[in-house]
Structure 1
């Protein structure tokens, strides 16, 4: 579907505060909502929940696997658990627990993995997650989202609270550019066309949706017209929209703050291959590298995910 964009090009609310505030509102209406954090409640701002709703918040300590097990047990007991940690600690470190105590056991666990990709900043390589989408996509019946801004993150958390199953959303803890007006309504499994073009298709997710729009505006000045899709639900992917917008295009580019292996680019490539689309595809993301220490700005440049680097890669691809 096509959605009106925000006219602002500003940074919005910190996404950690968006999540905490939405959970607080959900808890006020539903005492079965439980939030669990693994000794990072100061980083996530979930410590406010310990004050406003002490009976609905649990700090499990530095024990992420135990947190997943507790969430599974709470789900079986009729509660709706939300869990948080940095992206690698709530996916890679606890994957077996998520797969078995979550997916296999058919419990409900809502997961916020914070600071993916270059957003990790100086916490370094051990805290960098470039594979979380690939891991979470592999759990049967899971839902995997990559939130691009505050309005979208707020909607995703509220929507997760109404569903059963394994749900994962990744997103920066800090402020990102506003893309959508506040209170925009979305639909899980449906991408949003943010810009219409005639030459190529640019499919982006998460924080890089802003860069995708900036690159499209830059390339328009050189005579290259791009359609831009915000594919915020990576699983289930909006195959119908992807196939529709591929029609008549000369090339397709995917853009993600994640490894090009197993993420959005892989999901798009799988659909295109299965439908035998003979259109050149370029996946832009992180390739064959681990994280490192640096500011988010430095890491975004090091990973080749700045507006300038993305524009150059697309220009090289279509030449």
Structure 2
């Protein structure tokens, strides 16, 4: 599989991509409705959908709980529903509706949570660092975290025929593209983006490109072969892929834009512990604290979630400092 490391030339925008894909699907005659919070610009790709297909689009203002509940009602009436909600407000303000209206009723609603992790840029109150822990504990939810705009589009299209509720967790915008060529995407099946023999990084979402850079740096700096596993589906988790790469190298690092409590790292740790893993394991993510103020790159660097931090974690684990 071909990846790109020319990150300056290959900037991705999943927040625009989801709207563009929905617009394309509407033009193709796909039957769905769209609910959204009051933050979509008319000039955006989703704005084109609203303008051309107003009969299937419903503005819920800043009432996120009502939006999720209404989306469940539309789904119970037989509609497939895509619902865009500003990231931190989705799990923090609409937990009851996600749990009881969406998941308990097992309806065809795709909740698109934007501005995930610390990418919102609005400080601790607007950081979305505990959502995966919540979603993992709620039955019936499928949870996916696209790594770039292209993968986001693939998930949007695949979800059209998917049965049951789904969370699609995307960042604010501007992450580099990870995949330079087309590829098969299957919900629940991780992608071995780079094969390795000495260690593996398991990651998802906007952190994946930093993991690829870290793998490249480890090879160039130390001659160490580090694989990268794109765990784009957090639930259901691809346990077979986790156990395969763990047994292959005995060195696993997870990287995520989420609290280290209850997210991808916690999920991988559970799988490893329950299967008698005796190798090395490290989690990279937000520690158990509210983040510092600053742009996302600065926050990533401060908490060791960027290439430099991931390399330092690998060096310490492999004792290659």
Q: For this structure pair, what is the TM-score category when the shorter chain's length is used for normalisation?
A: over 0.9
1:160 aligns with 2:135: no
Equivalent residue number for residue 39 of structure 2 = 40
TM normalised by structure 2 equals 0.93
- Cα shift at 1:8: 4.6
1:5 aligns with 2:3: yes
SS in 1 for 2:118: helix
Q: Is the Cα contact below 8 Å between 2:120 and 2:126 reproduced in 1?
A: yes
SS in 1 for 2:200: strand
- Cα shift at 1:93: 1.5
Equivalent residue number for residue 286 of structure 1 = 286
Aligned equivalents of 1:249 and 1:35: distance in 2?
Answer: 45
CA offsets, 1:278-307, max 9 Å, x none?
112101111111134322222222332121
TM normalised by structure 1 equals 0.93
SS in 2 for 1:164: coil
Equivalent residue number for residue 295 of structure 1 = 295
Q: Is the Cα contact below 8 Å between 2:12 and 2:176 reproduced in 1?
A: no
SS in 2 for 1:248: helix
SS in 1 for 2:294: coil
Equivalent residue number for residue 232 of structure 2 = 232
CA offsets, 1:88-128, max 9 Å, x none?
1112221111000011112121011111123111x222111
Correspondence list, 1:146-295, <5 A:
146-181=145-180, 183-220=182-219, 221-295=221-295
Q: Is the Cα contact below 8 Å between 1:200 and 1:250 reproduced in 2?
A: yes
Q: Is the Cα contact below 8 Å between 1:151 and 1:184 reproduced in 2?
A: no
Aligned equivalents of 1:182 and 1:97: distance in 2?
Answer: 38
Correspondence list, 1:82-161, <5 A:
82-121=82-121, 123-161=122-160
Equivalent residue number for residue 66 of structure 2 = 66
- Cα shift at 1:223: 2.9
Q: Is the Cα contact below 8 Å between 2:120 and 2:172 reproduced in 1?
A: no
User: Residue 31 and residue 226 in structure 1: after superposition, are their counterparts in 2 closer, same or farther (change >3 A)?
Assistant: closer
Q: How many residues align?
A: 316
Aligned equivalents of 1:75 and 1:30: distance in 2?
Answer: 18
User: Residue 199 and residue 182 in structure 1: after superposition, are their counterparts in 2 closer, same or farther (change >3 A)?
Assistant: closer
Aligned equivalents of 1:182 and 1:113: distance in 2?
Answer: 26
- Cα shift at 1:317: 2.7
Equivalent residue number for residue 28 of structure 2 = 29
RMSD over aligned CA atoms reads: 1.8
